Chains A and B, each alone.
Chain A
Amino acid sequence: GENVEQHPSTLSVQEGDSAVIKCTYSDSASNYFPWYKQELGKGPQLIIDIRSNVGEKKDQRIAVTLNKTAKHFSLHITETQPEDSAVYFCAASTGEAGNMLTFGGGTRLMVKP
């Protein structure tokens, strides 16, 4: 089955700096890659996603890139703010079991004011 690895497990940045989180996946059939933000005591919130037919997608300060050949994808957050502090999860889906998601292990992002 699919395996998703996520790095780093923790990331500390200064407010205003950029943050990058990287994920690799194992199943070349995966074609959908969402990113979720989870704040303490809450469920994961979808923040951006990318499908395998594009290489990059942006939404304001957030961007995601996908390299299908290398089977890795990354989340980029620019001009980080303290409210960006949370745990971020990447995921991959092949479309099996409906669209069952396989998650990475998570990255705890801390933005220092």
Chain B
Amino acid sequence: GAGVSQSPSNKVTEKGKDVELRCDPISGHTALYWYRQSLGQGLEFLIYFQGNSAPDKSGLPSDRFSAERTGGSVSTLTIQRTQQEDSAVYLCASSLEGGREQYFGPGTRLTVT
């Protein structure tokens, strides 16, 4: 079946602009995670959604980052007033409720100039 999809695959933006990154999880997966992969920090957890519960935002690096999940499916990660240090690959993963296995999408490469 279809895996996790993310769009866009690449995004170049100017410093100070806002960006939105989209994730479509695997159908039937109720848990959704955002991670960031950067050269200096490796892979780091950002935020977690489970069904309609309030998200766990403990990994978000600043209040410029926010995420929402509509209808328990598609998620959008928004970065406001982008900075050069936000340049990274943003990865989305999904899993079954209570499942430990997480399946990743291909990521969105964000470049802030």
Residues of A participating in the B interface, judged by any CB pair closer than 8 Å: 32, 34, 36, 41-46, 49, 51, 89, 91, 93, 97-106
Contacts and interface: CB of A to CB of B under 8 A. Distances in A.
Given A32-B100, A89-B43, A106-B42, 5 more contacts: A42-B107, A44-B43, A99-B102, A100-B48, A103-B42
B59 interface: yes
**Consensus secondary structure, chain B interface:** strand
Interface of B: 4, 31, 33, 35, 42-45, 48, 50, 56, 58-59, 91, 95, 99-107
Contact of B100 (A34, A41, A44, A106): A34
Contacts of B48: 97-98, 100
Contacts of A104: 42
A64 B87 CA distance: 33
B100 A99 contact: yes
Nearest to B46: A100
Contacts of A51: 100
11 contacts: A43-B4, A43-B91, A43-B104, A43-B107, A45-B104, A46-B102, A91-B43, A97-B56, A98-B95, A99-B31, A101-B35
